[in-house]
Amino acid sequence: MKPNVLGIDIGGTNIEIGIVTEDGQILKTFHYPTKQFPTAQDFAKTLQNIINQTKDYNIIGIGIGAPTANFFTGQIEYAPNLQWKGIVPLEKLVNQATNLPTKITNDANAVAHAELRFGAGKNLDNFTVLTLGTGLGSGIVVNHKVLYGSHGLAGEFGHTQVDPNGRLCNCGRKGCLETYVSIRGIMLTYKELGGKQDLTPKQIFELAKNNDPIALQTYRKTAQILGSQLADLVHLFDPQAIFLYGGIAHAHELIIPTARDEMERNLLNAFKNKVQIKPSQLLDKQGAILGAAALIWENLKN
Amino acid sequence: MKPNVLGIDIGGTNIEIGIVTEDGQILKTFHYPTKQFPTAQDFAKTLQNIINQTKDYNIIGIGIGAPTANFFTGQIEYAPNLQWKGIVPLEKLVNQATNLPTKITNDANAVAHAELRFGAGKNLDNFTVLTLGTGLGSGIVVNHKVLYGSHGLAGEFGHTQVDPNGRLCNCGRKGCLETYVSIRGIMLTYKELGGKQDLTPKQIFELAKNNDPIALQTYRKTAQILGSQLADLVHLFDPQAIFLYGGIAHAHELIIPTARDEMERNLLNAFKNKVQIKPSQLLDKQGAILGAAALIWENLKN
């Protein structure tokens, strides 16, 4: 069989694993609750078993996307939502357990790798992916490469400060973008605007489609905050496109037009009408698996 | 004689020209008031004369830094402070007049090219240069290359919005960073804080060194605004260093400690204590000339 790689998406709740071909087909998937692995060593052993049981698939490498995973150090570093605490040398542990080339990166950068290799970014040199979920992650592509900066930390758009007196963020600071533009942010905005119940963004989206004024205003406000901050992002990176990925991106019909208007209104003249905002075409959950797999395919320089 | 290049810095008031060696020595300089050239064609003719009169210097190319000059198009595009209006195809005009390879870029990016080739950025992969003058320009280096984005527009940090209800900017928007952190910004802050006269930043700096409270507070406020915005820049680019260049950077002893404290206070934990803020070691005015010259030396791939 032609060579394949494992693409792994480690989340706070679930771990999704796919066997991925060179052209981005997912041949087989595995699914585990994250809690099943008290330590990263336990997880590495399970990967060893998977590799042994799938010899037919000719697996030649393992790519992993995980929260706070650092592409340069190969470590997961103080992930607040994982039970693996502190600094976890995951790349080394998996490599030792499986004897296969292993690369890790954070979950948002993984989606950027997926767009670059398998998605709408294939023919773009400069674009940004925003992963809109519990928080707001971002992967920034410059000159057809994912931007890592000097310590593997670059691309933290979600913690741009929108308002120094704004909502308290999990990071300890106030007014970060992700306190507004995320699942939690949308739920809180809905309540602040007078919504009577605790509703999910999906429920609020359904209400908005039925012209509920509070729900509509919730999405409008969310999109305005996003759009105004996107203007500053565009001033810095001059990208060709911005892709929205993740749970909230499903509401793109409510978010994108307003975000685009607000972004354009805030752009310097030279930048106007040059950048597209689009929903990612990568299917949910598959983006991170494909991106993790892309880490290995990229390194093979094929 | 070994080959040399012309490095040219076009400003609203003066044009400075230097004959620059491959290792960044300026052998000879020329100086013109910008108003001497009603059109860019007039300027190109003068360059033709210079080239003819300096055959001994073996000049093999011409690099130019100018406001709103676009590296990709070779044009100066609607420069508000130049008498050459509209779109000016300067690269083409100079190339046709002199028959020499010509490259142009904007003034702040020119300084980034200078740091990269001749300055403190020689051994750095990721850094940012801020040019603090009438406005706030920036040149951003990623993976040892100046960032241009998809239309040559990237790196406009000076128009990041600090306050949507803030000071009116020349760009037509409100609250841009350069309305606070620039010559004009410092002068206005001094007046707002109760300063009785119209003083230049240099005069305010002298007062601050003599412990004048309004002058000290002026620099403190300027540095705080800069530092808080630098945190967001560092979250996006994860640079090794930030260099301050230009008139206001002379006051670095008043600006940098406060800006650094404010930046560190606003950084996510993973980013703390990793990035340096330093005054540029490039001499004033020479930075833009050297950077313009670097455009040519870089292209020769020597």
Closest CA to B30 of B62, B2, B1, B75: B62
| Mean pLDDT to the nearest integer, A166-187 | 94
ipTM field: 0.95
DSSP state of B166: S
pLDDT tens string B105-164: 999 999 999 999 999 999 999 999 999 998 999 999 999 999 999 999 999 999 999 998
A79 token code pair: 């992930």
Q: What is residue B148's predicted lDDT score, i.e. its pLDDT? A: 97
What CA–CA distance (Å, rounded) separates A54 from A225?
A: 47
Instruction: Give the Cα-Cα-Cα angle A115, A243, A221 (nearest 5 degrees).
Output: 155
The continuous run of DSSP H or E covering A218 comes out as: helix A213-237
3-class secondary-structure state, position B89: coil
CB B287 within 8 A of CB B65: no
Q: State whether the Cα torsion A244-A247-A250-A251 is positive or negative.
A: negative
pLDDT tens string A30-46: 999 999 999 999 999 99
A234 token code pair: 């565009």
A153 has a pLDDT exceeding 60: yes
Query: Do the chains contact at B150 and A274, CB–CB below 8 Å?
Result: yes
- Indicate if B124-279 has the same CATH topology as B4-110+285-299: yes
What CA–CA distance (Å, rounded) separates A184 from A201?
A: 8
In CATH, which of 3.40.50.720, 3.30.530.20, 3.40.50.2300, 3.30.420.40 is domain A124-279?
3.30.420.40
Query: Do the chains contact at B157 and A235, CB–CB below 8 Å?
Result: yes
Q: What is residue A302's predicted lDDT score, i.e. its pLDDT? A: 47
Interface test with A, best of B76, B228, B235 (most A CBs within 10 A): B235
Query: Do the chains contact at A160 and B126, CB–CB below 8 Å?
Result: no
Q: What is residue B134's predicted lDDT score, i.e. its pLDDT? A: 87
A64 has a pLDDT exceeding 60: yes
| Mean pLDDT to the nearest integer, B176-205 | 95
Tell me the average pLDDT of chain B. 95
What CA–CA distance (Å, rounded) separates A237 from B210?
A: 41
The continuous run of DSSP H or E covering B105 comes out as: strand B102-105
Min Cα separation A18/chain B (Å) = 30
- Give the pLDDT band (50/70/90) at residue A208: very high
CB B35 within 8 A of CB B93: no
**Which percentage of chain B shows pLDDT scores above 90?**
89
**In one letter, which amino acid is A60?**
I
Query: Do the chains contact at A150 and B126, CB–CB below 8 Å?
Result: yes
Query: Do the chains contact at A147 and B268, CB–CB below 8 Å?
Result: no
Q: Which residues of A touch B (CB under 8 A)?
A: 68, 77-78, 125-126, 140, 142-143, 145, 147-157, 159-161, 164, 171-173, 228, 231-233, 235-240, 266, 268-271, 274
A278 has a pLDDT exceeding 90: yes
pLDDT tens string A244-265: 999 887 889 999 999 999 999 9
B301 has a pLDDT exceeding 70: no
Q: What is residue A299's predicted lDDT score, i.e. its pLDDT? A: 83
Chain B residues in contact with A166 by the CB 8 A cut-off are none
**Residue among A78, A172, A238 minimizing CB distance to B153:** A238
What CA–CA distance (Å, rounded) separates A30 from A34?
A: 12
Query: Do the chains contact at B237 and A151, CB–CB below 8 Å?
Result: no
Min Cα separation A292/chain B (Å) = 21
| Mean pLDDT to the nearest integer, A101-127 | 97
Min Cα separation A164/chain B (Å) = 9
What CA–CA distance (Å, rounded) separates A287 from A178?
A: 20
3-class secondary-structure state, position B62: strand
Q: What is residue A219's predicted lDDT score, i.e. its pLDDT? A: 97
**Residue among A173, A232, A270 minimizing CB distance to B160:** A232
Chain B residues in contact with A269 by the CB 8 A cut-off are 78, 171-172
Min Cα separation B76/chain A (Å) = 12
Q: What is residue A207's predicted lDDT score, i.e. its pLDDT? A: 96
- Give the pLDDT band (50/70/90) at residue A241: very high
A60 has a pLDDT exceeding 90: yes
CA distances from B227 to B52, B175, B188, B276 (A): 48, 16, 19, 12
Directed axis angle between helix A213-237 and helix A201-209, to 10°? 110
**Residue among B68, B140, B240 minimizing CB distance to A150:** B240
Closest CA to B267 of B221, B224, B228, B226: B228
pLDDT tens string B81-106: 899 999 999 999 999 999 999 999 99
Q: State whether the Cα torsion B186-B187-B192-B193 is positive or negative.
A: positive
3-class secondary-structure state, position A29: strand
Instruction: Give the Cα-Cα-Cα angle B47, B135, B152 (nearest 5 degrees).
Output: 60
- Count the helices and strands in chain B (H runs, E runs): 8, 13
Q: What is residue B254's predicted lDDT score, i.e. its pLDDT? A: 94
A5 has a pLDDT exceeding 70: yes
Chain A residues in contact with B239 by the CB 8 A cut-off are 149-150
CA distances from A258 to A28, A172, A210, A232, B257 (A): 39, 29, 18, 16, 40
Residues 6 or more apart whose CB falls under 8 angstroms from that of A165 comprise A174, A175
Q: Where are the domains of chain B?
A: 4-110+285-299, 124-279
What CA–CA distance (Å, rounded) separates A4 from A51?
A: 11
3-class secondary-structure state, position B14: strand
A112 has a pLDDT exceeding 80: yes
| Mean pLDDT to the nearest integer, A106-129 | 96
Tell me the average pLDDT of chain A. 95
Number of Cβ within 10 Å of residue A206's Cβ equals 14
| Residue whose entry in the numeric block shows the structure tokens 């990709």 | B72
**Which percentage of chain B shows pLDDT scores above 70?**
99
Q: Tell which CATH architecture fits domain B4-110+285-299.
A: 2-Layer Sandwich (3.30)
**Residue among A77, A156, A239 minimizing CB distance to B235:** A156
* A141 to chain B: closest CA residue: B149
Which ranges in chain B belong to alpha helices (H)? 40-53, 90-98, 107-118, 183-192, 201-209, 213-237, 252-266, 286-299
Query: Do the chains contact at B228 and A126, CB–CB below 8 Å?
Result: no
Residues 6 or more apart whose CB falls under 8 angstroms from that of A164 comprise A174, A175, B228
User: Number of CB pairs < 8 Å for A and B?
Assistant: 119
Q: What's the alpha-carbon Rg for chain A, to the nearest Å?
A: 19
CB B162 within 8 A of CB B225: yes
**First-residue to last-residue Cα distance in chain B:** 17
| Residue whose entry in the numeric block shows the structure tokens 């703390």 | B272
